[in-house]
Amino acid sequence: MKETRAIMGMPITVEVVDEHASQHMLEEVFSYFTRIDEQFSTYKETSEISKLNRKEIAELSDEMHEVLMLAEKTKQETKGYFNIKKLDGTLDPSGIVKGWAINNAADLLMHCGATNFYIEAGGDIQTHGTAADGAQWSVGIKNPFNKNEIVKVIYPRGRGVATSGSYERGSHIYNPHSPTDILSDIISITVVGPNVLEADRFATAAFAMGRAGVQFIEQLAGFEAYSIDKDGIATMTSNFFTLTV
């Protein structure tokens, strides 16, 4: 069973290939994403994050506490290159919420009994098990200069994949250490990590680091990265090739 819905301002696709796959499984996942969007969207005035930014609430939900703690942890681990505080002082946790939500949705599917599936939200992916034909799930990395072209196919084997860049949404990521500089050297960077949450939280920071992003990922145990610069030249971590076979 496979279905795509527009939630959180992006297409979210869920495919479950188990024989006992059911519409109920898909509904559980899509309902979860809808609830998270209502809670964390900075575009919805009624969301918890919007109320927090307006200082209208004092008590935060457990989920908001968890996301804010993860954001602070990532800020420390990336020497400030990941920072959810915007220039106007408000908080925008979207750089971590997507991967966090996909990871939780994968746990939800497994709780429902699914063992072979993938979830993709806005290009970030979590796979589990195998595809319908029994082969490993494959993930294509898009050419940022031609989104209809795949430049590399990888096999995450249950790991998470997250891509950060400027080719889909324009320059929405900035370097917190030099916020007025335009990030133009790197067009996209794809990070593969133990799960999609880990991949997503470091992909945003790695993109903000520019050309140093791949070297940063190289130092993280269990992570690989593939970046494409403004001239179309790819740079990858030393063991990235193991994901292509």
- Quote the CA–CA distance of 158 and 126 in Å, as a whole number: 7
Q: Amino acid letter at 185? A: D
Residue ranges making up the domain that contains 192:
2-244
Q: Is 221 helix (H, G, I), strand (E, B) or coil?
A: coil
- Quote the CA–CA distance of 162 and 189 in Å, as a whole number: 8
- The phi and psi torsions of 125 (rounded to 5 degrees) equal -135, 140
What are 63-120's pLDDT values in tens digits? 999 999 999 999 999 999 999 999 899 999 999 999 999 999 999 999 999 999 999 9
pTM, to two decimals: 0.93
Q: What is the CATH number of the domain that holds 186?
A: 3.10.520.10
Count of the separate structural domains present in the chain: 1
> How many residues appear in the chain?
245
Q: Decide if 190 contacts 178 (C-beta within 8 A).
A: no
Q: Decide if 126 contacts 195 (C-beta within 8 A).
A: yes
| Neighbouring-strand partners of residue 46 | none
What are 113-148's pLDDT values in tens digits? 999 999 999 999 999 999 999 999 999 999 999 989
Angle between helical axes of 62-77 and 196-208 (0-180°, round to 10): 50
